[in-house]
Amino acid sequence: MAFATKNRQLLSRIATNDRPGENSPYFEGWKAYDSNPFHPTQNPDGVIQMGLAENQLCFDLIKKWILKNPQASICTAEGVDKFKDISIFQDYHGQKEFREAVAKFMGRVGGNMVTFDPNRIVMSGGATGANETVMFCLADPGDAFLVPSPYYPAFLRDLRWRTGLEIVPVDCNSSNNFRITRAALEEAYERAQRLNINVKGVIIANPSNPLGTTLDRETMRSLVSFINEKNIHLVCDEIYAASVFSSPRFISVAEIIQDMDCNRDLIHIVYSLSKDMGFPGFRVGIVYSFNDLVVHCARKMSSFGLVSSQTQYLLASMLSDEEFVENFLKESSQRLAKRHRVFTHGLEQVGISCLKGNAGLFSWMDMRPLLKEQTVEGEMELWRVIVNEVKLNVSPGSSFQCSEPGWFRVCFANMDDEIVEIALDRIGKFVRQGKEEDVAPKKPKRWQKKLHYLFCCCR
C-alpha cells in the first residue's frame, strides 16, 4: 500500500486524478458486458450490449461501394500505385480532397442550407479529440462550460480531464420534454457567477445524446442570443446530424446564424463520421469554427490526433460519390426509422414509454414506474438488476446527470434484428414478472424476486 502511494506521487496530476469520470455506471455497464458478452450460440445468457451508440445497420451499403470502387484503397491491386504518395509524410492541414468532401457532406446533411468552407475543416482523432481541442482553444484551467442535462457521460472526460475545465449543468426536465430554456440557462449562469466560476461558453449536442431529439429553430436562436449577450462561446456537437429519421429536420447552428446579427467568432461546430456513417474505428473528428484564430490554433493542435492519410484517401473518394451519399443517407434514415419503430413498439407492448424521438441511435426510456423510490438510489438499484440479472447493459439517467431519476438510455442500432427481439423478450419477461404477483414459479430467479419486490413496494 505504501509502495502504491509513493508510486502515485511520482506521477502527474493528470495520471492520478479521477476526472476521466470512468467510475460512472455508464462505464460500469460496459465492464459487465465485456466480462460476459452475449453471443446467440456461444453465450446466449450473456449481457446484451445496449449501451453502445453505434450504427451497424448499413454496412452492406458500405461493402457494396468498396467492392465497386477498389481503387479507393491503396491496399488493393487497383489502388496500390498510390501507396507511396499516401503513406509518406502528410501536412496536418489534411488532404485537400478530403476536406472538400467532408465540407460538402456536412452541407448535404444539413439539407444544403449552408455551404461549409473546406479551409475551416480541421481534423482530430474522433469527436472526443475534436471536443477537447475546442476546449483547449477556448478556455483555461478552472474555467467552465454550461452543459444542458441530461448530457453525454463522457463529456466529463472529453471536456475536463486534460483541460482542467469544469462543467456546470443546465438542468432540464420532462415537464417540457427536456427542452433547453432561456430561464434554465440564466439560472445556471448566475449560479456559476455566485461561485466565482468563469463561464466561457455553452456546449450542446444537437441532435441530443441521450434524448434522441433535434433542437427546434426557436431554441437554437435563443441559445445564440444568450451566448451573444453574455459574450461567451457556443459549441455545437452535431455528430448525429445525419441520424435523423423523422421530422422535424436537423438544423445546424451554421444555418441559424445566417440570418442573425451575432458575433460569429463565438460559434464552433464539432462533427464526426463515427455515428452517421458508422465509422468510429476510423477516428474521424472535425472541428469547424467561424473564428479564424480558433481554426489556426486547432490546426496546429491537430498534430496530436490526425486522421490517417489512408483513411482520408478512402473517405474522400466515398464522400465525393454523390449518388452513393444520397442513397446511403436515405437508406440509413429509413432503416433507423424502422428499428426505432420496432423497438419502441416492443417496449409499449409491456407498458414502457419513451420520450418521443426523431434522431440518434437510442431511445430515452421512462422506467420511473418501476422504481422502488424516486431517488438516484432507487434508479441504481433497478439498474443493477437489469444489468446483472436481466443481462442488458442499459445506461441510467444519473450517469447523464439527469435531474429526474428513472430515465434510461437504451441503444438499438448496434445489433441485428434477432438480437433486438431477444432484448425485447428479456425486457418483456422482466416487466411481466413483476406484475404476476399471484404466480410464483417453483424456482424463481433472483432478478424475478427483486422485480416482484420492486412492484410491490410501488403499489
Residue 275 annotated to the active site = yes
DSSP-assigned states of every residue in 193-228: HHTT--EEEEEEESS-TTT-----HHHHHHHHHHHH
Spatial separation of the C-alpha atoms in residues 223 and 382, rounded to whole Å: 35
- Find out whether 237 and 203 touch, Cβ atoms under 8 Å: yes
- Among 143, 158, 237, 276, which one carries the catalytic annotation? 237
User: Which residue from 231, 269, 227 is spatially nearest to 250, judged by alpha carbons?
Assistant: 269
CA atoms within 13 A on the CB side of 288: 26
Residue 63 contacts by C-beta under 8 Å, 6 or more apart in sequence? Answer: none
Examine the residue annotation and report whether 259 is marked as an active-site residue of this protein: no
Please answer whether residues 297 and 280 qualify as being in contact, where contact means their C-beta atoms are separated by less than 8 angstroms: no
- Residue 389 vs residues 36, 45, 384, 410, 421: alpha-carbon distances, Å: 12, 10, 8, 17, 18
Buried b (16+ CB within 10 A) or exposed e, 415-436: beeebbebbbebbbbbbebbee
Strand partners, 124: 285
Residue in the block written with cell 445564440: 224
Q: How far, CA to CA in Å, does 245 sit from each of 99, 103, 250?
A: 26, 22, 10
Please tell me which residue in 152, 189, 240, 313 is annotated as part of the active site: 152
Beta bridge partners of 407: 366
Counting other chains too, the contacts that 41-48 makes at CB distance below 8 Å and 24 or more residues apart are 45/391, 46/391, 47/387, 47/391, 47/392, 47/393, 48/391, 48/392, 48/393, 48/415, 48/419, 48/422, 48/423, 48/426
Taking CA 285 as the corner, what is the angle to CA 335 and CA 179, rounded to the nearest 5 degrees?
60
Set 74, 167, 239, 267: catalytic member: 239
Q: Is 237 annotated as catalytic?
A: yes
Beta partners for residue 364, in sequence order: 409
Q: Which of 70, 119, 129 has the alpha carbon at shortest distance from 296?
A: 119
Local structure of 5: helix, strand or coil: helix
Q: Is 257 known to be catalytic?
A: no
- Give the active site residue among 151, 240, 269, 275: 275
Which residues carry out catalysis? 152, 237, 239, 275
